Amino acid sequence: MQIDPVKLIQFIVCQATEFGASLSPIRVVKFVYLADLYYARENKGETLTGWPWKFVYFGPYCTESFLALRRVDPGSHLQLSIFLGSRIGMLFSESWR
């Protein structure tokens, strides 16, 4: 069973927001990987996304995951916030208008 990865990303960000957390793109990717991992353990290796995960440096990586992050619809109540500080990066959070 494969699902729409963008909907999975929206679900992950929604759940994190309920706990008061904002997620960087890297953290979103890690949660998508964990969803794939746990689903694959129960389903004979089949993943939710069907993506070819690899480990690069500090964690899971898949080009498709970053492409899916770019496809998240701005009208889906997810906000991409740019933050400045010791680093420049992005945070995802959920916003209900």
pLDDT in tens, 55-82: 888 889 899 998 898 888 665 556 555 4
Which is higher by pLDDT, 25 or 53?
53
State the pLDDT at residue 71. 85
* Domain extent listing, the chain: 5-94
> Which residue type occupies 82?
I
* Confidence at 87, pLDDT banded by 50, 70, 90: very low
d(CA 18, CA 22): 10
Least confident residue range of 4-18, 29-43, 63-77: 63-77
- The residue among 94, 81, 71, 77 whose CA lies nearest residue 5 is 71
Query: Does the model's pTM come out above 0.85?
Result: no
